[in-house]
Structure 1
Amino acid sequence: MNKMKRRGVLALSFAGLLGLGFYAWSANRSEAPAPAPGQKAAAPAAQAAPARPVAVEVATVLAVDFADDTTAVGTLKAAESVVLRPEVSGRITRIGFRDGALVNKGDLLIAFDATIPDAELAQAQANRDLALASFKRNQELLEKKFISPQALDASAATLKVQEAAVQLAAAKAAKMRIQAPFRGIVGLRDVSVGSYIKEGEALVNIEDVSSLRVDFRLAETWLERVKAGQSLELGSDALPGQRFVAKVEAIDPQIDPNGRSIAVRARLDNAAGQLRPGMFVRLRLAFGERKGVLMVPEEAIMPGAKPAVFKVVDGKAERVVVRTGIRRDAQVEIVDGLAAGDVVVSAGQLKLRPGAPVTVPGAKAPEGAQGKP
């Protein structure tokens, strides 16, 4: 009996649910107006509403003329620079220069006490003279058949040994005198007459500033354009308003694997002596003037495997892949993909999709378009 009651309750519940569903369907159908004869049914609201324009900022592709150049920074170095150091220990007996003076190649700068080396040289010279006299006498005796040829050979060997001893003593004596290796300006000394100097101790520096070198680095993209002999312009903060001309002397054949840059060395004349080694300088290399270069703001370029921009065509955004060139003053060169006068999106690209309508806030609408988005 209980089972029969449960089945009856379930049947009544199911019938009630069906009745409620039919009533709701009938009510909704009666509220929707039937289309008039000859009139099509209205499209859904999602299909009828047009896509809303996306507010963006735009820029015009400009064709400009500018000097094709690049800049760098560097430090001046002397054409020749050396710190004089003695090869032997000794006591200074003479200083032959004034601090900061110009000296010529071969001038005596510092002399050490050479009493012992000079005596050894004199002894070696005396032994050589004795060996030479003995050799000449043996030559005469050999002609008279008083000695054998072997005796003459022995005297000749002794003469060579004594000549070598003279050269050795002369070399030792020469190391007691330090001469200028080239024409240049000596620095400030920290030694005096009577100072005992050890082997290898720094004495004074000498710099050839008649011409200067400057080493700087450029990005590897300039490798094919910078050449030896090319002129460049440089200036220093210490001499505002003045410009100096240098020439590229050499290019390092190896590219720095860390910074992907190339080392370049230039040389400039400094006969007037205005510049000094160690000065910081700014350089500019000019490669000529280029005309009609297409430029767009950096913000318009969308990064990726292939750089691209959104070009505005008939009020819609069109994605265009471009090929870029140099960058300068927040502008990027467009080598391929755009033409002068094209309008590109410079801000708001993240909200765009190809074919999306765009609008520029604050832009004046064309005549007859009032009220249109």
Structure 2
Amino acid sequence: MRRLLLLLALLAAGGTAAWVRYGLPPRVTIAMASQGTALEAVYATGTVEPVQWARIGPATRARLTEVLVEERQRVTEGQPMARLDDRQARSLVAEAEARARFAADDLARTRTLVARDISARTTLDRAERDAQAAEATARAARQRLDDYVVRAPTDGVVLRRDAEVGEVVDTPASLFWVGEPRPLRITAEVDEEDIARIRLGQRVLLRADAFPGQALTATVAQITPKGDTVRKAYRVRLALPDDTPLLVGMTVEANIVLRETPDAVLVPQAALVLPPAPRDASPSAPPAPPPGAPRQGHVWVVEKEVAQRRAVQVGVESPRNVEIRQGLRAGEAVVLNPPPGLTDGAPVRLQAAAAPPG
């Protein structure tokens, strides 16, 4: 009996030593793969503007003497909107017209003298040229005088006025914005790496600081064929619905929807393990996947307190969740922040993930 008890004690001591030597199974935090909507989109920023509009500035540098229209007022094509100080221009017109009248009178006298054979024919030719030149100078002066009237280039509503009587304005200045309040559009810039994935008719989700939490949408209506080589971006026009609350001049953030999967498998970002990025881009290295191509990675799935390495295909990623396109089903348990040294088939101790705040 004593020998039996001694043998049991030795076995127990050996088992305890082995347990201490190899340690307990690692404790891991798990979360369940859920099902939700995965949205793949291209981000851009843009500005709201009318589809039909024009920026109006002066044709010459002068002082503003009169502003004839106000904001929200409708104007017609050719209607005067402002006047500039044209006193010097009027003086030039008067001088040019006086020279033209003198040249015309001289031409009439020369014709009479030539008809009576008093003057040579060459004198008449010179007088005709002088009269034509003087009349052209007067006509150009009268045309320049009209530059001192700022006119509406098209029908529309005065959307904005930046003109005040007394200030000196020059040709680069914009005194008025004229256009139609509806329809509106957004002019956005898309990075050249993403422009190949943009198509006409794609749905766009918008966010504006003036309307927080409100769902705003648009549609891709136009893609400029030539990009900006300096900013490395392409201009994209987004059509807005007529009932949009956005106003002209607002800045918005746009997400152009490329793909929307309503029943996608989602896991927390902490569950995904991606392969390390290559340190050198040698010619023998495999080419980088094109933009939008799914990436490869793996997760650790727990079944009956055993960890199993599972290769997965990664879809859309966000700061919080990751879409798993292949390799995982909704409802399976995955390890968050897998501990280093975890091996396929190793036992683990489970610990449920804390609920996210909010």
TM-score, normalising length: structure 1:
0.62
Contact map agreement 1:55 1:361 (CA 8 A) in 2: yes
Structure 1 position 345 matched with structure 2 position 335 = yes
Partner of 1:18 in structure 2? Answer: none
1:54 is the counterpart of 2:44: no
Question: Are 1:358 and 2:348 an aligned pair?
Answer: yes
Query: Does the 8 Å CA contact 2:89/2:145 hold for their aligned counterparts?
Result: yes
Return the offset for 1:299: 0.8
CA drift of 1:342 comes to 5.0
* Structure 2 residue 58 is the aligned partner of structure 1 residue 89: no
Runs of at least 5 residues in structure 1 that lack an aligned partner in the other structure: 1-31, 34-41, 364-373
Total equivalences in the alignment: 315
Does the CA-based 8 Å contact 2:38-2:260 persist in structure 1?
yes
Match of 1:178 in 2: 150
Residue 170 (structure 2) pairs with residue 200 (structure 1): yes
Give the equivalent residue in structure 2 for 1:26: none
Alpha carbons 1:309, 1:320 under 8 Å: kept: yes
Match of 2:227 in 1: 253
Q: 1:56-107 CA deviation, whole Å, 9 max, x = no partner?
A: 1234445655555566554424554636356233462x43223542323321
Which structure would you say has the larger Rg?
A: 1
Q: Tell me the amino acid that sits aligned with residue 295 of structure 1.
A: L
8 Å CA contact 2:158, 2:177 repeated in 1: yes
Structure 1 CA distance for aligned equivalents of residues 248 and 324 of structure 2:
41
2:299 to 301, 305, 309: 309
- The 3 A distance-change label for structure 1 pair 273 and 70 is closer
1:208 to 1:330, Cα distance in 2 relative to 1, 3 A: same
Aligned-pair distance for 1:189?
5.8
Q: Compared with structure 1, are the counterparts of its residues 359 and 136 closer, same or farther at alpha carbon in structure 2 (3 Å cutoff)?
A: farther
CA contact (8 A) 2:269 2:319 kept: no
Distance change in 2, residues 1:125/1:283 (3 Å):
same
Alignment of 1:292-307 (within 5 A): 293-305=264-276, 307=297
| 2:168 aligned partner, one-letter code | K
1:269-303 CA-to-partner distances (Å, cap 9, x unmatched) read: 68779543332445443345436533322111124
How do residues 30-69 of structure 1 correspond to structure 2 at under 5 angstroms? 46=18, 52-62=24-34, 64=36, 66=38, 68-69=40-41
CA contact (8 A) 2:221 2:237 kept: yes
Corresponding residue for 1:37? none
Q: Could you tell me which runs of 5 or more consecutive residues in structure 2 were left unpaired when the two chains were aligned.
A: 1-5, 8-13, 278-296, 354-358
Q: How does 1:117-196 map to 2 (within 5 A)?
A: 117-125=89-97, 127-128=99-100, 134=107, 147-148=120-121, 153-182=125-154, 183-185=156-158, 187-188=160-161, 191-192=164-165, 195=166
Residue 10 (structure 2) aligns with: none
In structure 2, the CA distance between the partners of 1:116 and 1:349, relative to structure 1 (3 Å rule), is: same
Q: Check whether the contact 1:218–1:264 (CA below 8 A) recurs between aligned residues.
A: yes
Partner of 2:199: 227
1:14-45 CA-partner distances (Å, limit 9, x unpaired): xxxxxxxxxxxxxxxxxx99xxxxxxxx9996
CA distance in 2, matches of 1:232, 1:282: 10
Q: Alpha carbon RMSD of aligned pairs, Å?
A: 4.8
Q: TM-score, normalised by structure 2?
A: 0.64
